[in-house]
């Protein structure tokens, strides 16, 4: 052990063994602070909690707790802290990186019962909600005030706001309206020792370090969130979408850059390559041009005057950058049809391939062409097809690698293909995860993106909140002697987890 | 590591070994801000220059010692700006100082604060380790968000080497309108307009005048002007008004009385503190010139649901920043210790003992 590692918590060096937990004591103590319905420890009862949206990883925990109040959360955490048991917090379980995968020797803490909207202040444009509230429900509840909650991750009908904080969820509109971290003013939570903390403020800032930012995307590793104040945004009066076709993906990438260079921040800016367009067109009949090498969807929102002006500017840029066809949505029905295709990309992939594996790298926009060219080469190297959908406006790509797990060797090749894409994302100046989180899925790629000193810093940051390392151990940040290879999301038999949810 | 980075890393290691404080300083334009200035100066200005700025990426990567004015000029040449409209408080302000102080200007309520635009950072921690977090892309959830943690940390967690910041296009059109009304009505009006799809980019109220800036598409600004009414300022007067607020060069900020900054919910009622006041950020930022004692100012801010900073004042012995509750104070101390175990980086600048 060097001087540099001397001050590190044990979990930074290696995975801690929790197999000697006193289960009888744990259950007994939990029973004393929770109503019977809020404590499950029969393995059949716990089955629904064994995985999140990344269902290739499954693990039944020691116990599942479903606290209904902050006081119960604090009581549970105090017990786990004193017994020395890991705790994994879970929202709606729609995450795609295994962040809510239970710990074999730990407690799974579901926040599903804490699902109340506590207050709505239309004048201040804020709502105070519990972590189990679904993302979309906030917008539905505040709609009568002409307001909505801006971040719209693809799973928004099901995902919880607590989970959104844990992953710093984005969505199609985040280029203009920001990520979760830009739309949350305050978080109340409980640390592992049972202390209630409030970070952020009902004003626009709080004294001291920006712990509010630190909590976002922390994957349940720092504290358990019990209450969130979200910022609400006035609903735009009007939206219109432009569909532009290109005969070359590089040109489409350049057009994306040109739109931004023209000083336009579109409400949404999405790109699909030809194989993706073909896959969805046969599925939803969005009316996409099938001969195009790539299509762009470029949306404007605001007042009718503003939208008219912006759409005109967007069209001028797209046409002067080689669009072979530009269509402007004539009405709301057509706008929704333009989007329907993009939103159907995941299920469409499931229709044309037995399995697919979804990636989530982000790269600088200017490298999109390079990445696409490289992916075309990888298709030959790994002898697998890949269809590409992008949040082009912010460089976040979701390549879908198509394979068949029943064909020997295809799963392994798909995983190698995916790893090659993530490696290239890092090499191009990007990141291994834009919005799905590291969880268990990309923990080995973290070893590539961050050096030892940086990973040690992460462990120290965690220890500032959780000195014993009991919150979600083994996730997000790999220990020093464990940068082992893990599998990743793939979809069995064309079945996407939560098939009812649109993914994009 | 470059030569400068190398020499700073050595300087930090030596300081750590001898437990001698280092005072990280850019242009010194914000020396007045925060608490004590302790230690030998580490002059951050030597590490300067824009590393990359590609307008189509909406990202600029810049060395922390770069003059803020130089960065803004480079952005302006490409029709872009820093969305958070940071104050300079002097011609020598640096980008690093801007991030470390975490101060945002008139556009904050609509566009966001410094922290909202931070994408990545390279720093030297208190061990002399060169660390990089975040990146140059808009979406990134790999690891904890240390880049945003650096904003407003006043150099107590590390020496910033370079930062990557999201930038915004300049608005196509702007207009500034004035309305006569009292403070109570102005706060209500700011909040009402904030809840409508209007292109409001800044608001201020002082001495019975509410001033509103609109920024956006030509059509949107024209339509909003017609709808809101009021008296439209000419371009020069408008620029002078917002610049005077941003740089605190206008009359309200002159004189010797302590200047308090109250950060409160936008709908908070009147502060009720003795002295003159100026309201910004849609009601969420209230500047007060008052001789009232710190405890009562802070109690009032807390009662309104916010916090109070002694922004400028001769006597900082009462603490520049609002005291932290014990649980948060513990987390702050542990974070400080994790980045700077020997407590040598700007000790006491943010809080005593930090």
Q: Which two tokens stand for residue B265?
A: 């919910």
Residue A460 lies in a domain: no
A 10 A CB-CB count for A183 gives 19
pLDDT at B335: 98
Q: Percentage of chain A surpassing pLDDT 90? A: 72
Tokens of B83: 């969305």
Check whether A489 has a pLDDT greater than 50. Answer: no
Q: Which residues of B touch A217 (CB under 8 A)?
A: 141, 144-145
Residue A59 confidence (pLDDT) above 60: yes
Q: In whole angstroms, what is the distance from residue A335 CA to residue A242 CA? A: 8
Paired strand residues for B173: B216
B contacts of A237 (beta carbons < 8 Å):
197
Coil/strand/helix, residue A3: helix
Q: How far out from the chain centre does Cα B74 lie?
A: 20
- Which of B 21-50 lie inside 8 A of A, CB atoms? none
B57 touches chain A (CB under 8 A): yes
Q: What is the pLDDT of residue A370?
A: 87
Q: Any CB–CB contact under 8 A between B52 and chain A?
A: no
Does residue A33 surpass a pLDDT of 50?
yes
DSSP 3-state of B199? coil
If asked whether residues A95 and A125 sit together in one domain, one would say no
Helix (H) / strand (E) element for A369: namely helix A368-382
- Residue of B142, B192, B302 to mutate, testing the A interface (most A Cβ within 10 Å of its Cβ): B142
CB pairs under 8 A between A and B: 269
Query: Which residues on chain B are in Cβ contact (under 8 Å) with A144?
Result: none
A346 or A85: which carries more pLDDT confidence?
Answer: A85
CB proximity A460 to B under 8 Å: yes
| Residues A371 and A490 grouped into a single domain | yes
Which distant-in-sequence residues (6+ apart) come within 8 Å of A264 by Cβ? A310, A313, A314, A317, B169
Is B192 within 8 Å of A123 when comparing Cβ atoms?
yes
Residue A63 counted as domain residue: yes
β pairing state of A107-110 and A87-90? parallel
Residue-wise DSSP of A157-201: TT-BHHHHHHHT---TTHHHH--GGGSEEEEEEE-TTS-EEEEE-
Domain membership flag for residue A103: yes
Q: Using CB atoms and an 8 Å cut-off, which of residues 68-107 of chain A contact chain B?
A: none
Q: Does residue A500 register a pLDDT over 70? A: no
Element (H, E) at A70: helix A70-83
* Residue A390 three-state SS: strand
- CATH classification of the domain holding A71: 3.30.43.10
CB atoms A309 and B219 under 8 Å: yes
Residue in the structure block whose two tokens are 């336009």: A264
Chain B residue closest to A199 (CA)? Answer: B328
A144 touches chain B (CB under 8 A): no
Last residue of a domain, one of A343, A372, A396: A343
Distance from C-alpha of A406 to C-alpha of A492, rounded to nearest angstrom: 9
A366 and A490 in a single domain? The answer is yes
User: Does A438 lie at the interface with B, CB-CB under 8 angstroms?
Assistant: yes
Which residues of chain A make contact with B151, given a CB cutoff of 8 A? 210, 213
CATH number at residue A424: 3.30.70.2740
d(CA A338, CA B173): 30
Give the count of alpha carbons within 13 A of B159, CB side only. 33
| A99 and A126 fall within a common domain | no
| Residue A256, C-beta contacts closer than 8 angstroms, at least 6 positions apart | A269, A271, A296, A365, A368, A392, A393
Beta pairing class for B173-180 and B231-232: antiparallel
Residue A33 in any domain: the answer is: yes
Q: How confident is the model at residue A61 (pLDDT cuts 50, 70, 90)?
A: very high
Q: Which domains does chain B have, with CATH numbers?
A: 3-169 (3.30.465.10), 173-246 (3.30.70), 251-312 (3.30.70)
- A447 vs B contacts (CB less than 8 Å): none
Q: Distance (Å, rounded) from C-alpha A504 to C-alpha A45?
A: 32
Least confident segment among A479-483, B5-9, B90-94: A479-483
Q: Do A209 and B152 touch (CB under 8 A)?
A: yes
Query: What's the pLDDT score for residue A474?
Result: 93
Q: Report the pLDDT value the prediction gives residue A503, as an integer from 0 to 100.
A: 41
| Shortest alpha-carbon distance between residue B234 and chain A (Å) | 23
Question: Band of the pLDDT at A483, cuts 50, 70, 90?
Answer: low
Distance from CA of A162 to the nearest CA of B (A): 16
Distance, in Å, from the CA atom of A164 to the CA atom of A150, rounded to the nearest integer, reads 12
Domain-located, residue A329: yes
| Chain B neighbors of A179, CB-CB under 8 A | 139
DSSP 3-state assignment of B22?
A: strand
- pLDDT tens digits, one per residue of A447-456: 888 988 999 9
Q: In this model, does residue B39 exceed pLDDT 70?
A: yes
CA distances from B126 to A191, B131, B338 (A): 26, 11, 9
Question: Can you give the three-state secondary structure of A261-286, one letter per residue?
Answer: HCCCCCCEEEEEEHHHHHHHHHHHCC
Distance CA A465, CA A247 (A): 52
Is the pLDDT score of A153 beyond 50?
yes
Q: Residue B280 — φ and ψ, nearest 5°?
A: -135, 180
Chain B residue with CA closest to A451: the answer is: B131
In A, which residues are within 8 Å of B57 by CB distance?
Answer: 257, 260, 364-366
A9/B contact by beta carbon, under 8 A: no
Q: How many domains does chain A have?
A: 4
Cross-chain Cβ contact A364/B137 below 8 Å: yes
Q: Give the pLDDT mean for A106-116.
A: 98
Closest CA to A291 of A307, A273, A309, A304: A273
Strands, E assignment, A213-360: 224-231, 233-234, 238-246, 268-273, 294-302, 325-328, 355-358
Q: Please report whether residue A449 resides in a domain.
A: no
Cα separation of the two ends of chain B: 28
- A119: part of which helix (H) or strand (E)? strand A117-121
* DSSP SS3 for B246: helix
Tell me the pLDDT tens digit for each residue of A250-306: 899 889 989 988 999 999 999 999 999 999 998 888 899 999 999 999 999 998 888
- Is there a contact between A207 and B331 if contact means CB atoms under 8 Å apart? no
User: Of the residues A234, A259, A279, which one is the last residue of a structural domain?
Assistant: A234
Residues from chain A contacting residue B129 (CB–CB below 8 Å): 453, 457
Q: CA of B147, closest CA in chain A: separation in Å?
A: 9
- Which residues share a beta bridge with A184? A230
Q: Per-residue confidence at A488, pLDDT binned at 50, 70, 90? A: very low
Question: Does the beta carbon of A182 lie under 8 angstroms from any beta carbon of chain B?
Answer: yes
Measured distance CA(A115)–CA(A95) in Å, rounded: 18
In the predicted structure, residue B248 carries a pLDDT above the cut 70: yes
A361 with A490, same domain: the answer is yes
Q: Do A462 and A221 contact (CB within 8 A), yes or no?
A: yes
**Residue A498 confidence (pLDDT) above 60:** no
Q: CATH number for the domain including A302? A: 3.30.70.2190
Residue with tokens 């939206």: A239
Asked if pLDDT for residue A158 goes beyond 70, the answer is yes
Identify whether A157 is part of a domain: yes
Dihedral angle of Cα B34, B36, B42, B43, to the nearest 10 degrees: 50
Q: Does A176 touch chain B (CB under 8 A)?
A: no
Find the closest chain A residue to B323 by CA distance.
A207
Instruction: Using CA coordinates, name the residue in chain A closest to B172.
Output: A263
A398 to chain B, any CB pair closer than 8 A? The answer is no
Mean pLDDT across B79-84: 97
Read off the pTM. 0.94
| Res A6: pLDDT | 59
- Greater confidence (A486 vs B301) lies with B301
Does A117 reach chain B within 8 Å, measured CB to CB? no
Q: Are residues A173 and A212 in the same domain?
A: yes
Q: Binning pLDDT at 50, 70 and 90, where does residue A5 land?
A: low
Contact residues on chain B for A368, CB-CB shorter than 8 A: none
**Residues A178-188 pLDDT 10s:** 999 999 999 99
Quick one: pLDDT at residue A4? 53
Indicate if A229 and A243 belong to the same structural domain.
no
Chain B, nearest residue to A206 by Cα: B307
Helical residues (DSSP H) of A111-201, grouped into ranges: 135-142, 161-167, 174-177
Strand partners, A134: A160
ipTM score: 0.98
> What is the band of A492 on the pLDDT scale with cuts at 50, 70, 90?
very low
CATH number of A186's domain: 3.30.465.10
Chain A, window 274-333: residues with a beta carbon less than 8 angstroms from a chain B beta carbon: 302-303, 305-306, 308-310
Higher-scoring residue by pLDDT: A124, A303: A124
Asked if residue A497 lies in contact with residue A54, where contact means CB atoms within 8 angstroms, the answer is yes
Domain end residue (candidates: A321, A343, A365): A343
- SS3 call for A405: coil
- Judge if A140 and A154 occupy the same domain: yes
- Please report residues of A whose CB lies closer than 8 A to that of B203: none
- The residue range of the domain holding A392 is 352-442+486-494
Residues A156 and A195 in one domain: yes
Q: Inform me whether the pLDDT recorded for B249 exceeds 70.
A: yes
Non-local (6+) Cβ contacts of B53 within 8 A are B59, B60, B61, B62, B74, B75, B78, B167
Same domain, A332 and A410: no
Per-residue pLDDT averaged across A52-79, rounded? 95
The pLDDT value recorded for residue A367 is 87
Mean pLDDT of chain A: 91
Pick the residue with more confidence: B345 or A487?
Answer: B345
Chain A contact for B13, CB < 8 A? no
Residue A457 lies in a domain: no
Where is average pLDDT lowest: A190-199, A227-236, A244-253?
Answer: A244-253
Q: B197, A124: Cβ pair inside 8 Å?
A: no
pLDDT at A284: 86
Cross-chain residue pair B220–A306, CB shorter than 8 Å: yes
Collect all residues of chain A within an 8 Å Cβ-Cβ radius of residue B140: 362, 431, 433-434
Q: How far is A41 from chain B (nearest CA, A)?
A: 32
A338 and A372 housed in the same domain: no
Phi-psi region of B216 (alpha: psi -120 to 50; beta: other; left: phi over 0): left
B18 CB-contact burial (10 Å; exposed 0-12 / middle 13-18 / buried 19+):
exposed
Same domain, A389 and A412: yes
Q: Vertex A296, ends A294 and A300: CA angle to 5°?
A: 175
């Amino acid at each position: 052990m060097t001087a540099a590692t001397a001050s590190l918590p044990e979990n930074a060096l290696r995975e801690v063994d929790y197999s000697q937990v006193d289960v009888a004591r744990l259950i007994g103590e939990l029973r004393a602070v929770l109503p019977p319905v809020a404590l499950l420890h029969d393995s059949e009862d716990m089955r629904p909690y064994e995985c999140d949206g990344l269902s290739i990883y499954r693990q039944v925990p020691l116990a599942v707790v479903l606290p209904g109040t902050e006081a119960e959360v604090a009581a549970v955490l105090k017990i786990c802290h004193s017994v020395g048991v890991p705790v994994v917090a879970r929202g709606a379980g729609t995450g795609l990186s295994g962040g809510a995968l239970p710990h074999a020797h730990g407690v799974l803490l579901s926040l599903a019962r804490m699902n109340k909207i506590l207050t709505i202040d239309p004048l201040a444009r804020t709502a105070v909600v519990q972590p189990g509230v679904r993302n979309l429900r906030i917008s539905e509840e505040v709609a009568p005030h002409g307001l909505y909650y801006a971040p719209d991750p693809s799973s928004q009908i099901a995902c919880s706001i607590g989970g959104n904080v844990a992953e710093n969820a984005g969505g199609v509109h985040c280029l203009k309206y920001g990520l979760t971290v830009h739309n949350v003013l305050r978080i109340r939570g409980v640390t592992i020792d049972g202390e209630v903390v409030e970070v952020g403020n009902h004003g626009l800032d709080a004294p001291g370090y920006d712990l509010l930012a630190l909590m976002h995307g922390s994957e349940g590793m720092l504290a358990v969130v019990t209450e969130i104040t979200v910022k609400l945004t006035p609903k735009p009066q009007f939206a219109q979408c432009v569909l532009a076709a290109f005969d070359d993906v590089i040109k489409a990438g350049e057009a994306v850059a040109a739109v931004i260079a023209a000083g336009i921040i579109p409400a949404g800016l999405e790109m699909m390559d030809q194989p993706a367009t073909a896959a969805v067109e046969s599925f939803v009949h969005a009316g996409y041009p099938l001969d195009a090498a790539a299509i762009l969807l470029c949306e404007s929102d605001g007042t009718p005057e503003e939208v008219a002006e912006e759409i005109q500017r967007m069209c001028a840029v797209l046409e002067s950058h080689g669009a072979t066809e530009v269509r402007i949505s004539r009405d709301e029905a057509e706008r929704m049809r333009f989007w329907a295709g993009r939103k159907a990309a995941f299920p469409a992939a499931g229709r044309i391939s037995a399995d697919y594996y979804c990636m989530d790298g982000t790269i600088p926009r200017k490298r999109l062409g390079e990445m696409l060219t490289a992916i075309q080469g990888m298709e030959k190297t790994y002898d697998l097809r890949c269809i590409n959908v992008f949040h082009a406006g912010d460089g976040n790509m979701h390549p879908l690698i198509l394979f068949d797990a029943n064909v020997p060797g295809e799963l392994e090749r798909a995983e190698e293909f995916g790893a090659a894409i993530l490696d290239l994302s890092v090499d191009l100046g990007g990141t291994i995860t834009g919005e799905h989180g590291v969880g268990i899925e990309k923990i080995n790629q973290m070893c590539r993106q961050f050096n030892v000193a940086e990973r040690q810093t992460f462990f120290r940051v965690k220890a500032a909140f959780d000195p014993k390392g009991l919150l979600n151990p083994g996730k997000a940040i790999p220990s020093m002697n464990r940068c082992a290879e893990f599998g990743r999301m793939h979809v069995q038999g064309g079945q996407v987890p939560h098939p009812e949810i649109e993914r994009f | 590591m470059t030569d400068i980075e190398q020499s700073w890393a050595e300087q930090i290691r030596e300081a750590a070994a001898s437990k001698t404080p280092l005072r990280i300083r850019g242009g010194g334009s914000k020396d007045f801000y925060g608490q004590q200035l302790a230690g030998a100066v580490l002059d951050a200005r030597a590490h300067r220059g824009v590393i990359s700025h590609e307008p189509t990426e909406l990202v600029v990567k810049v060395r922390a010692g770069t003059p803020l004015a130089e960065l803004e000029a480079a952005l302006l040449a490409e029709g872009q700006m820093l969305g958070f409209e940071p104050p300079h408080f002097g011609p020598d302000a640096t980008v690093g100082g801007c991030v470390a102080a975490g101060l945002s200007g008139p556009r904050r309520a609509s566009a966001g604060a410094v922290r909202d635009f931070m994408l990545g950072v390279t720093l030297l921690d208190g061990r002399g380790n060169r660390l990089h977090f975040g990146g140059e892309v808009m979406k990134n959830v790999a690891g904890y968000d240390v880049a945003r943690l650096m904003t407003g940390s006043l150099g107590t967690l590390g020496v910033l080497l370079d930062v990557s910041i999201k930038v915004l296009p300049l608005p196509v059109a702007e207009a500034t309108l004035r309305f006569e009304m009292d403070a109570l009505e102005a706060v209500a009006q700011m909040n009402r307009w904030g809840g409508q799809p209007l292109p409001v980019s800044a608001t201020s109220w002082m001495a019975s005048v509410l001033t509103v800036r609109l920024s956006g598409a030509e059509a949107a600004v024209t339509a909003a002007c017609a709808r809101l009414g009021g008296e439209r300022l000419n371009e020069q007067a408008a620029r002078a008004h917002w610049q005077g607020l941003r740089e605190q060069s206008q009359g309200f900020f002159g004189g010797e009385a302590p200047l308090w900054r109250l950060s409160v919910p936008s709908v908070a009622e009147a502060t009720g503190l003795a002295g003159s006041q100026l309201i910004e950020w849609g009601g969420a930022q209230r500047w007060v010139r008052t001789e009232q004692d710190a405890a009562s100012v802070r109690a009032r801010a807390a009662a309104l649901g916010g916090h109070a900073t002694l922004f400028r004042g001769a006597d900082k012995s009462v603490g520049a920043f609002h005291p932290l509750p014990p649980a948060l104070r513990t987390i702050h101390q542990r974070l400080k210790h994790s980045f700077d175990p020997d407590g040598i980086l700007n000790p006491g600048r943010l809080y005593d003992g930090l």
